[in-house]
A and B are shown apart, each in its own frame.
Chain A
Amino acid sequence: MARLTLDNVTKSFADFDAVRDVSIDVGDGEFLAVLGPSGCGKTTLLRLIAGFEKVTSGEIRIGNEVMSGKGGSVAPEKRRVGIVFQNYALWPHMTVAENIGYSLKVAKLDKAAARRKVEDALALVNLQGLGERRPANLSGGQRQRVALARCLVAAPSLVLFDEPLANLDVHLRASMEDEFAAFHKRTGTTIVYITHDQAEAMALADRIAVMDHGRLAQLATPRQLYREPANEMVSSFISQGILLPADVLSAEEGGHCKVRVLGTELVVRCRTGERPRAGARICCRSADVQVVPDGPGLDGHVKRVIYQGGSARIEFTPSAGPDLTLHFEQPDPVMLESGTQARLRIRSGWLIPAARAA
C-alpha cells in the first residue's frame, strides 16, 4: 500500500506533449480513475507511473521514494507495481498457474510457498482448478481475472489498470466491475484505473481525474465532477452536459448567483466568490430541463426526436440561439414531434468558473 504523487509531470514524444504538467496526489488505498477521450494521454500516464516511459520533466513518487525525476528513473521491475493490460498480456507459452506464479519465481520464492500463493490468488479471482489450463483456452473474462491474479500475487504497493474491461461484453463488464470493487475493498490497495467509460469510472472510483489533450482537466469526486465541472471540456464530456452562454448578474451568495441565459434570468449554483461578468457559460444536465406549457422559459422548436424505448431523447433549438442544441429525455407517451414549437424551463445549472480560476 502506498501513496502515489505526480508532480508537474510532462512527457513529450519528439515535439508532441502526450502528458503535460500533470500533478495528482493519490492517497494510500485510494481508487483513482483516469478518464478522458481517446488519445488524451491516459495510457502514457500509466506507463510513466509503471516506469516503461521516462518523464521529460516533473517527478513521480511512490510512497516516499522518488521513482522518476531529474535524478533518473527506477527500473519497472524495481517499482513493485502491478499492472493489468487491456489485452490481458498473458504469456501464451505458460499455463495459468505459471503466469500467476511468474513474479514469485523471479523473486526465487520457495516452491511450496509459491504454489500456495498461486492457489490463494486463483481463489481470490474465483478460478480454482483452472491453474493447469493455457490462456488460449480461457474466456475473455477468465483471462482478465488471471491477469488480475497475476498482478496481485506479488502484493504490489500500487495496481495500475489500463482499460481492463474494454474488450469484454456489457454483461461481463458489470460483473467484473463488481469484482474489482470487491477486490479494492478487501485489499485496500492503491489503484489507478484508466477507462474511457465514465459510468465505470463513477461506479468504482473515489476520485476521478479527467484528462484532455495531455492536461489534467479536473480531479474530483464523481459527484463533484457531475455537479460542478471545472471547465467546458469536463462539462460536455461528463454525461453530455449542455453548455449555454450566460451573463452573471449578481455576486455569489450562499453558493448561488443570478445569471441571464438567452434572455431569461435564472439562478444557478456557483463557486464562492463569483462576481458579475459577461461571456460566462453555464452547464446544465438534461434532468434540469423541463417542458412547460407557459410561464418564463426558452421558446424554440424541436429539432429531432429519437425514440429510445420507454423514453425519447429530444433535441431542442431555442429561437434566441439557433446554433445551440439542448437535449433532454421525455418519458412515454412522447407527445413532441420534430418541428413542434415548445417552451423549456431550466430549473438549475452550474456556472462554469472563469478560465483563470480553473
Chain B
Amino acid sequence: MSTRIRESRGQEMALTAMVAVVIMLLSLLPMLRLIKEIVAPGGTLSGIAIEAGLRSPATWIATWHTLVVSIGGTLLAVLSGTLVAVLITLTDIRGRSALMLCYVMPLMIAPQVTALAWLQLFGPASPFLKLFGAAPPLGTRNPLYSTSGIILLLGVQYGPLVFLLVRAGLRKLPRELVEAARAGGAGWLTVLVTVVLPLMTPSIMAATALAFVSCVGNFGIPAFLGIPANYLVLPTLIYQRLAGGGPAVLGETAFLSVLIGIIAMAGILAQEVMSRRRDYRISSTSLPAEPYELGRWRPAVQAGMWLLIVSVLFLPLFGLVLTSLVPGYGIALTAKTATLDNYRFVLFEHDAASRAFFNSFWLSISAAVFAVIVAVPIGYLIAWGKQRWVRLLNLSVELPYALPGVVLAIASLLLFLRPIPLTGIQLYNTVWIILYAYLARFLVLALRPTISGYHQIDRALEEAAQVAGAGLFLRMRTIIFPLVAPAAIAGGLLIFMTALSELTVSALLWSSGSETIGVVMFSFEQGGDSNYAAAMSVITVAVTFVLMLTTNLLARHLPSGVLPWRD
C-alpha cells in the first residue's frame, strides 16, 4: 500500500518539479538577472547604474514622450473601444459578428505593419492618393511622423483590446439591472450613463490599464513613426542605444528597461487602487438585456460603424497592397506599372528576407508547440491543484507578457551575453536567444485558454480514470490532454500569429543570420524600401487571415472567449 502511495506521490512531485523548473528558467531567472544588473552592476551593490540613468537628459525626454503617447493612445483606445463595444453589444445593429471580426482584426496585425500601412496611405508616395491624384508633392513630410500620428495609431491598435474587455463585461450585465431603470422611467441614454457605464467601471479600468501597458511597451509604431521625426520613446531609445553601442551599453539600457517596467506597473497598480475604492460587483447572473432598438437611427449608426472599419482596417490594408505592387518609391500604380517583383524579391532573391521567413516560421512554430505542451501540465496545477502557491505560479507566467517586450529582451541579453556556465554554450548572437525570449514571453497566451478549458471540464472525468487505476502521467496523456487540447491548440495558434511578425523582442536580439520577418521589414523601411516592406507585410497579414479562418473551424470545440474575435 505504502509503495503505491509513494508511486502516485512521485508522479505528482515530478510534475510539480518540472513545472517549477520551466517557470524558473523562463520567468523568474530573467527578471532576477535584470534586477541584479540595476542594483548590483558588476556584482557589488551600488547605485551607479541608476545614477547614470537618472542624469541623462535623453532618459527624461524619452520618458516624457512615452507618457504622452501612452496616455494619449490609451484615451483614444478607451473612448473608441468602449463606444464600439456599447454599440455592438447593446443595440440591434446588424451584422454584428462581421463587424466584430473586422474591428478586432488590427489586434492580430503586428503594430509595425499597422504603422507601415498607414504611412503608405498618407505619405507623398502613397499609391492610394495617387489614384485620385491627391498625393502631396514628393518631399512633403508625412503627417503621421508626429506625436499625434503615434497617438492615433496606438489608439487604432489597442481600441480592439478595450473593446474585447468591455464587451465581455457588458455581456455579463444582468438584464434586470437595465430593466429596473427603464421601469423607473429612464430612457436608454440615461440608463447607459447612470447604470450601464458605472457598472462597467471595473472592465473599463482593467481595459485602460491593459491598453496603457501595451502602449508603453509598443515598439513598432513609435519606431516607424517616431524615429524618422527623431521623436524617441523609451523602447526606441533603448533600441537606438543598443544598435549604436552594442553590449557595452547594456547596463544603461537595463536601467531604461526597468524604467519602462515601472511605468507599466504603475499603470496596473493605479487601476488596482482605483478599483478597490468601490465595490461594483454584480452578484446575480441572468440573461443579457434585449438589444436597444436604434429605430430610424440604425442605418446611420451602421454606416458610421462600417465607415470606421473601412478607415481603420480596409483602407490601410488596401494602401499596403497597392504599395507592394508598385515597382519603386513614388511611382503611381497603373495597369502598366503593377508588378509582383517585390514579392519575388523578398521571397526568393533577397538573402536576409528569405532567411527571415524561414526563421520566423520555425521560431513561431517551435514557440507554439512548446507552449501547448507545457501549458497542459501547468494549467493542470493552476486550475486543479490544491497548493496555495499556484497563484504565484500564475502570476510569474503572466509577468513576461504583462511587462513590455523590451524588458524581457534586455533581460535575455544580460542572461546570455556570456556562455551558459558549466556548459559553455553560447546563445548570444544566435537565433536561440530569440527562441528563448519567445518561449518566455508567449507561454501565457497558451496557458490562459488552457486554464479556462480546465474550468469547463468536469473533474469527475479525471477522477473516473483515477479510480480505474490510471497514474497521473497516464491520465495526463489519455484523458486530460485530449480534453483540453482544443483550447491549448487555439492558444498555440494565437502564439504563432503573434510571433510570426513580432518585432519588439527580435529587434533587440537579432544578429546576422538570425533575422526575423519583423526585423527585415523594419530595415527595409528604414532604408526607404517601403515596397519590399509592404510586400512582406502583405504576406504575413495573409498568413494571419488564413490562420484565423482555420482556427474558426476549431471554434465549436473551444471554451468561449478563447478566440478574441469570436464570442
Contact = CB atoms under 8 A, between A and B. Distances in A.
Interface in A42-76: 47, 50, 52-53, 75-76
Interface in B238-293: 278-284, 286, 290
- Chain A interface extent, by class: 20 to 34
Interface string A145-175: 0010011001000000000000000000000
B185 A154 contact: yes
B182 A93 contact: no
Interface string A73-96: 001111111110101111111000
A102 B183 contact: no
Nearest to A162: B176
Given A85-B176, A87-B176, A102-B194, A92 B183 contact: no
B201 A76 contact: no
Nearest to B285: A87
B185 A103 contact: yes
Interface in B147-199: 174-177, 179-187, 190, 194-195, 198-199
B176 to A, nearest CB: 4
Given A91-B199, A93-B199, A103-B184, 19 more contacts: A50-B179, A52-B179, A52-B290, A75-B182, A76-B182, A77-B182, A82-B183, A85-B179, A87-B176, A87-B284, A89-B176, A91-B177, A91-B195, A93-B198, A103-B186, A136-B281, A136-B283, A151-B184, A154-B185
B172 to A, nearest CB: 13
A107 interface: yes
Contacts of A78: 185
- Listed from nearest, the 7 A-B pairs whose CB atoms lie closest are A103-B184, A89-B176, A87-B284, A76-B182, A89-B180, A85-B176, A106-B186
Contacts of B286: 87
A77 B183 contact: yes
A102 B181 contact: yes
Interface in A111-129: none
Contacts of A85: 176, 179-180
Given A91-B177, A92-B199, A81 B279 contact: no
A76 B281 contact: no
11 contacts: A50-B179, A76-B182, A77-B183, A77-B186, A87-B174, A91-B180, A93-B199, A93-B201, A93-B278, A102-B181, A102-B184
A134 interface: yes
B280 A76 contact: no
A230 B160 CA distance: 58
A80 B184 CA distance: 8
Nearest to B195: A91
Interface string B199-216: 101000000000000000
Interface of A: 47, 50, 52-53, 75-83, 85, 87-93, 102-103, 106-107, 134, 136, 147, 150-151, 154
Contacts of A75: 182, 187
A96 to B, nearest CB: 14
- Chain B interface extent, by class: 20 to 34
A80 B190 CA distance: 17
Given A92-B199, A93-B198, A93-B201, A81 B185 contact: no
Nearest to B181: A102
Nearest to B187: A77
Nearest to B186: A106
Interface in B515-559: none
Contacts of A88: 284
Contacts of A87: 174, 176, 284, 286
A325 to B, nearest CB: 36
Given A87-B284, A92-B199, A136-B279, A106 B190 contact: yes
Most buried by A among B175, B194, B198, B201: B194
B251 to A, nearest CB: 48
Most buried by A among B182, B201, B281, B283: B182
Contacts of B284: 87-89
A351 B199 CA distance: 56
A89 B174 contact: yes
Most buried by A among B176, B177, B279: B176
A77 to B, nearest CB: 5
A327 to B, nearest CB: 37
A150 B180 CA distance: 9
A358 to B, nearest CB: 34
Contacts of A76: 179, 182-183
A134 B280 CA distance: 10
Contacts of B194: 102, 106
Contacts of B186: 77, 102-103, 106
Given A91-B177, A91-B195, A83 B282 contact: no
B179 A83 contact: yes
Contacts of A103: 184-186
A92 B282 CA distance: 7
A90 B281 CA distance: 11
